[in-house]
Amino acid sequence: MKTLFSRRTGMMAVLACLLFAPMVAMAVDDPSEMLPDPAQEQRAEAIGAQLRCLVCQNESIEDSSADLARDLRHVVREHVAKGESDHQIMDWMVSRYGNFIRLRPPLTLGTLLLWVMPLLALGLGIGVAWWTLRKSIVTPPPLTDEERRRLSDLTRTRRE
């Protein structure tokens, strides 16, 4: 039984590798995209690693196999080949696509609000819940003498 289980596990692992191998191959860049100068290519890859794929939105353009990411990689390589600095290329991309193109946007009032708003909303919700519950809890007034006598009579009859 143990060998059957391990044989099945091995066959499942091989099957999984065969199924997922084409997906890994899709992410490989086309060699014709690459710049002939290795230093320029390395710079282009470093810049591309900082830019968001606008289709995938959670990958850099260097990691994505989307057509738009391929186009953006080509644009970055054109700018690098022209001799533009990293800062100039990033500025061009941001002016064209906005700060959303950056995987790590700069800290501005807008990005700070994006990070702080969930905490503020949670705090506001807790505050409103506390305020509402505090107001809804009403302490009953103290018992009158008549109510105390009646309570005493009721509890005394049950004990007997």
Fold (topology level) of 2-106: Helicase, Ruva Protein; domain 3 (1.10.8)
Kindly state the average pLDDT of the residues 78-105: 90
Tokens 């060998």, located at residue: 3
Mean pLDDT, the chain, integer: 81
With a pLDDT cut of 90, the percent of the chain lying above it is 29
Return the CA Rg of the chain.
33
> What pLDDT is recorded for position 12?
63
Is residue 103 within 8 A of residue 50, CB to CB? The reply is yes
Smallest CA-to-CA distance from 100 within 66, 72, 65, 122 is with 72
Q: Which residues pair with 52 in a beta bridge?
A: 60
Question: pLDDT band for position 26 (50/70/90)?
Answer: very low
As a whole number of angstroms, the distance between CA 19 and CA 26 comes to 13
Domain boundaries in the chain? 2-106, 110-159
**Does residue 35 or residue 68 have the better pLDDT?**
68
23 — pLDDT class (breaks 50, 70, 90): very low
pLDDT at 28: 36
In sequence order, which residues have a C-beta less than 8 Å from that of residue 48 and are 6 or more positions away?
60, 61, 62, 72, 73, 76
Q: What's residue 122's pLDDT?
A: 96
φ, ψ at 92 (rounded to 5°): -65, -45
- Region 23-41: what's the mean pLDDT? 63
Taking the whole predicted model, whether its pTM rises above 0.85 is answered as: no
Q: What pLDDT sits at residue 88?
A: 93
Determine the pLDDT at residue 31.
66
Task: Report pLDDT for 34.
Answer: 77
What confidence tier does 103 reach under pLDDT thresholds 50, 70, 90? confident
